[in-house]
Structure formats: structure tokens, C-alpha cells
Amino acid sequence: MGDRSGSVLVLTNPLDVTTDAVLRVLAERRVPVVRLDPGSDLHSGASLTAAYRTGGQRGTLRTASREVALSSVRSVWVRRASPYEGPSELGGQERRFAASQTLWGAGGILASFPVAHYVNHPWANRAAEHKPAQLAAAQRSGFAVPDTVVTNSADEAREFVAAQAGGAVYKPLWNTPYAVDGRPHAVWVREVDPADITGAVSVCPHLFQAKVPKAFDVRVTAVGDRLFGLRIDSPDLDWRRRQDRIACTPIDVPEPVACAVAAYLGRLRLVYGAFDFAVTASGTWYFLECNPNGQWAWQPAGTTDAIAHAIADQLQKGRDT
């Protein structure tokens, strides 16, 4: 049933240069690719049609440079599609109507190909973005997990933070774009003083976590059963803040951690995942997070190139039969 010669559908915005690293590999291999940014292309000339009836479905996608039968799509790479915001020339509720119809209509069509291999399925990504779901899956997959509490009770928060002998940190449950005086801001991980906790914790849930006495950080990029480990040494608790200060070295992933990664991916139905670990001097790998659609092309060239090829392999092979 699966058409092995079918196209790879890539959902992303035109500025996503990471996508291009994989598309160049697929081009070398002469694997046909169709690129679509549904949130904007469908308002500017591209068309998407799906038809359903008893016992079957079919459809067609037409972009500026491609026409493909939806049944021939061998795999779908969900990267960095633009938000569904509706046609920019509309305003107010008309624009919101068009945006919602596109989200639920086009988003539904693109998530419902019967034989395609999704890297990752968009709804699996959505489920796996929830940090409580990550922690629940992590502890059931065999990872060491730092003591963590998610609460909107200031008393619970204060009690938890005060009880952590090695200190505690705060992490947002979602990164909301946030600007102060027009300048982009974010929460960078740093220690929490229990005395700083106020009743403002009750406004919404907050995540507090024991600070791991780490010797170094590790990013493990998982593509199917292929793992790419990278040790990250940073002068900062949160290595993302000053990336010009980090030192990266490839590192082997211990077998028990690799097994837990496989279990985690299976549990959350992911093909790809960017795992972050804090590793102690005694060699315990503490699971911090897994971003199901995490950026990977910032890593050293050898790692990036290997990941690009591994993703291309996944997209080329399509769904296992």
C-alpha cells in the first residue's frame, strides 16, 4: 500500500535554515520533496483538497512548484510551520475565522495521512510538549528524575524549595514570548531563594525542581534508534543563555540511558527527541527535559551532519511495513 517512491512533505517556514540541511541530503539522493508552510502558503496560492468516502480517502496538494497526491506522501517532517494566523489582509473576527478553519481543516488533513511516516506526528509533539507529561513519562521510562513540584500553592512551593538541600530552580511550563521595553526576555534557570516566593505563585502553576549537583550537561538527540550524545560544559547553570561560552564534546550514551530513551520515545510516540540531562560527578544522568521538536543544528558540524543524515534516512524510508 505504501508508495515508496512518494514525496516527503516538509512543513516549515521559508526562514527555517535547519530544514535546508536535510533537504540538501534528500536532493542528493533524488528523493522528491514538497515543502509547505500551511499557515501562509494556503492563503497565497497553494491549495489543499482531501476527499473521504466509505472505504477510502484521497487528496491533492498544489504548491507554487509541486502537485502531489496525498496518498503518495511517504513521510511528513514536522519542523517549524508558521502559526495559523489567517490572511494578513483580513482583520478581526474574519481573520480569526479563516485562521481557525485552517488550523482545524488543513491541520487535520495534514495529520491524517493513512500510510505516511511522521517525524514527529504533530499531535504527538503537542502532547510531549507538556512538562508534566514529560516528567511522568520519564520516571516511568527508567530515567533518574530530579525531585520536581508543579503547583499554584505558594505554601507548597516555599516548602518544596526550602526542603532541597542542594537548592532549587524555577522553570516555566511554557515559553511565552515576553518583552520588557521592547526587548525580548525569557526565564533563564537560576536558583530560587525560598524567601523570594510570594503569593503570586497562586496566579498560575509554577514548576520548581531540585538543582542537580551536575558536573556537566548532555544533549542527546534521538532520531529513531540512533542517538547523538553531546557533552556541554558551560560556566552558567543554564547553558542556553551564553552559547558563546559553551564547550561541546561528543559523548557516548550509557546503555541504561539509551534504553530509557527508547522507552520514552515509544511511550510518547515520538521518532525524534532532543533530551537534556544533568550528569553528576558520580555518573548519574538526570533527565531534565525532552523537547520533541528541539533545535539540533547548533551542534558541532560533525554531529549536525550526522543528525541531518539520520533524519533524511527516516524521511526516505517512510513508514515501516
Partner 1 sequence: MKTAPWGTTRMEPFTATVPVPQFTPVIDPETQVAVFVDGHGRTVELGGHGTSTSGLTPTQTTPDGNPGSPTDADTTESYDQDQSNG
Contact between 221 and 295 (Cβ < 8 Å):
no
Q: List beta partners, residue 47.
A: 62
Q: Is 278 in the site for partner 1 (CB under 8 A)?
A: yes
User: Would you say 56 or 159 has its CB closer to partner 1?
Assistant: 159
Tell me which of 111, 136, 215, 259 binds partner 1, using CB under 8 A. Answer: 111
Tell me which of 90, 151, 153, 188 binds partner 1, using CB under 8 A. Answer: 188
HSE-up (13 A, CA, CB side) for residue 308: 21
Window 10 to 69, contacts with partner 1 (CB under 8 A): 10-11, 13-20, 23-24, 26-27, 33-35, 39, 64-66
87 CB-contact burial (10 Å; exposed 0-12 / middle 13-18 / buried 19+): middle
Window 131 to 150, contacts with partner 1 (CB under 8 A): none
How many residues contact partner 1, by CB under 8 A?
91
Q: Is 217 in the site for partner 1 (CB under 8 A)?
A: yes
CB count, 10 Å around CB of 53? 7
Tell me which of 159, 258, 298, 317 binds partner 1, using CB under 8 A. Answer: 298
Tell me which of 145, 265, 274, 307 binds partner 1, using CB under 8 A. Answer: 274
CA angle 56-57-62, nearest 5°?
A: 160
Q: Is 158 in the site for partner 1 (CB under 8 A)?
A: no
What is the side-by-side strand order in the sheet with 47-53? 47-53, 56-62, 67-69
Tell me which of 43, 74, 117, 171 binds partner 1, using CB under 8 A. Answer: 171
The closest of 253, 221, 252, 215 to 234, measured between CA atoms, is 215
Q: Is 313 in the site for partner 1 (CB under 8 A)?
A: no
